[in-house]
Amino acid sequence: MSKLKQKLAEKIPSYRERVTKLMKEYGDVVVDQVHIRQFYGGMRGLKCLTTDISYLDPNEGIRFRGYTIPEVLEKLPKPKGAEMPYVEGHFFLLLTGEIPTQEDIQDVVDEFKARNRVPHYVYDLLREMPRDTHPMTMFSAAILAMQRESVFVKRYNEGLSKMDYWDPYYEDALNLLAKLPEIAAYIYRMKYKADTPIASNPELDFGANFAHMMGIDHPYDEVARLYFILHSDHESGNVSAHTTHLVASALSDPYYALSAGMNGLAGPLHGLANQEVLRWIQHVMDKMGGKLPSKEELKKFVWDTLNSGQVIPGYGHAVLRKTDPRYTAQREFALKHLPDDEIFQLVSMLYEVVPPILMEHGKAKNPWPNVDAHSGVIQWHYGVREYDFYTVMFGVGRAIGVLSNIVWDRAVGQAIERPKSLTTDMLEKVAGIKK
Ligand SMILES: CC(=O)SCCNC(=O)CCNC(=O)[C@H](O)C(C)(C)COP(=O)(O)OP(=O)(O)OC[C@H]1O[C@@H](n2cnc3c(N)ncnc32)[C@H](O)[C@@H]1OP(=O)(O)O
Ligand SMILES: O=C([O-])CC(=O)C(=O)O
């Protein structure tokens, strides 16, 4: 058994005890109340999910297993000479709650290496799809196609005890994660680089191998590590995490669940917003004949977008009420590596211009930028200008978090998710409008 799996096996019993105690002895304790606005308002703010992998404070932003982003970037071990930590180490942290040693990381690196062969039919499938298919459709279809490989399904069909569900979920999660960078890079090079895929180099770590398969030199390996870590998890109520959790709660295997989660990530209000940000910026640049707008001109573009009833992509958030620390981490990277980039200058100008306008507009509860406002510009700088690919990279990162979550869902015996719905009539009666 790998050290990672062994560590997990050691940690699960005490978590089960804690959950059993809460359920048995404190099951009737009231945590929250549900308001009518939440029935139609996307259950905003309703406390009804649990995860120990990350927690999102509205003002501070995300903590992964209790660590802020700067702490994660500082504490996690890095490849020799690298600026950004091993993605493998971040996965270890999310899954176990512990900062890994170099030895722990090597164990995960070896685990991924042993599982990274992408089945040939995945390439056949991708090649059969029309080339103008959105890369997120390709990515999700590739994940779904591999469902036949599920270890969970095989073991479930053989007659598996509930107590052991987490084990084949873990196997499926690792088998999937090991293959996602190659699938993503293959889609990119097939679609946008004249069908010239680059073979994986198993000697490289997760981030560096992705950069290698994309065909982009250093420091893109650092970008890849930073990007996958930042996008990994955002507690469990966001659309991609919640969808993955929901589908897995029916004991659909991790392939079904992750593919479903990726379909949610592909929406413009969620992960696709990073594509929308670059699309919006390119629209501005086109209108300006390729030159940077002045602040006044930019303000007008922002107002025009709002007045036409559209959202400003990359701004606002369902939970956050301050600048997203994932935005800040990327801004710091950009200030160091690409301070003179024209698009970065435009992104920086937007940071000054958009929040006061959104405040004046008076609708968005959070006028500050989220992660998606910054991720595209760094990709653009390093030559990944096909912005409809950006959400696929978000998806590779998000898989690390959502797969860790569903392994733990099975470990603590989370039930099939099935909330109760009411009719409009019933709500009108609750409100006292109707008898
Ligand atoms: C990785 C991620 O998923 S991060 C989020 C990525 N998405 C985006 O960047 C898209 C732009 N942002 C948005 O659409 C929203 O802010 C969301 C979807 C992120 C959050 O939605 P909500 O929690 O419903 O936001 P909020 O409560 O502030 O919305 C209130 C009103 O402000 C509007 N609003 C919110 N953000 C924006 C924005 N960036 N631009 C214009 N209007 C906005 C909403 O559309 C809503 O309008 P309505 O009353 O006419 O329906
Ligand atoms: O938390 C959310 O609702 C959206 C988000 O930023 C993420 O999933 O990364």
- Report pLDDT digits (tens) over 11-45: 999 999 999 999 999 999 999 999 999 999 999 99
Residue 330, domain member (yes or no): yes
Q: What is the pLDDT of residue 246?
A: 98
Domain-located, residue 345: yes
Strand partners, 127: none
Q: Quick check: 214 and 292 in contact, CB under 8 A? A: no
- Does residue 158 sit within a domain? no
CATH of the domain at 357: 1.10.230.10
Q: What is the ipTM of this complex?
A: 0.99
309 CA from centroid of ligand 2 (Å): 22
Give tens-digit pLDDT for 357-399. Answer: 999 999 999 999 999 999 999 999 999 999 999 999 999 999 9
**What is the tens place of the pLDDT at every residue in 325-362?**
999 999 999 999 999 999 999 999 999 999 999 999 99
311 pocket-lining for ligand 1 (C-beta < 6 Å):
yes
- DSSP string computed for 206-218: HHHHHHHHHT--T
305, part of any domain: yes
CA 154, distance to chain mean position in Å, is 28
- The whole-number pLDDT of residue 86 equals 98
Residue 278 three-state SS: helix
Instruction: Tally the domains of the chain.
Output: 1
Q: What is the pLDDT of residues 293-318, one digit of tens each?
A: 999 999 999 999 999 999 999 999 99
- Residue the block writes with tokens 């006028």: 367
Model confidence pLDDT, tens digit, residues 59-106: 999 999 999 999 999 999 999 999 999 999 999 999 999 999 999 999
Q: What is the pLDDT of residue 183?
A: 98
Tell which atom from ligand 2 comes closest to the C-alpha of 371: 6
Place of tokens 């504490």: 75
90 is catalytic: no
The yes-or-no verdict on residue 1 having pLDDT over 90 is no
Distances (CA, A) of 110 to 87, 177, 235, 315: 13, 13, 28, 39
Q: What is the pLDDT of residue 344?
A: 97
Q: Which atom of ligand 1 is nearest to the CA of 370?
A: 4
Write out the E strands in 198-322.
none
Q: Phi first, then psi: what are they for 62, rounded to 5°?
A: -75, 140
Q: Ligand 1 atom 23: the closest Cα is on which residue?
A: 318
Q: Among residues 38, 33, 43, 370, which one has the least CA distance to residue 239?
A: 43
Mean pLDDT, the chain, integer: 97
For ligand 2, the distance from its centroid to the CA atom of residue 276, given in whole angstroms, is 16
pLDDT exceeds cutoff 90 at 273: yes
Tell me which residue range forms the domain holding 313.
273-381
With b for 16 or more beta-carbon neighbours within 10 A and e for fewer, the 321-349 pattern comes to: ebbbbbbbbbbebbeebbeebebbebbbb
In a domain, 332, yes or no: yes
276 lines ligand 1 (CB under 6 A): no
C-alpha of residue 234 to centroid of ligand 2, in Å: 5
Is 409 tagged catalytic? no
- Render pLDDT for 241-260 as a digit per residue (tens, 0 to 9): 999 999 999 999 999 999 99
Which DSSP string do the residues of 387-427 spell out, in sequence order? GGGHHHHHHHHHHHHHHHHHHHHHHTTPPPP------HHHH
Please tell me the pTM assigned to this model.
0.98
Tell me, yes or no, whether 144 lies in a domain: no
- Nearest alpha-carbon partner for 4 in 100, 126, 132: 100
Whether 222 is covered by a domain: the verdict is: no
Query: Is the pLDDT score of 123 beyond 90?
Result: yes
Q: Give 315's DSSP letter.
A: B
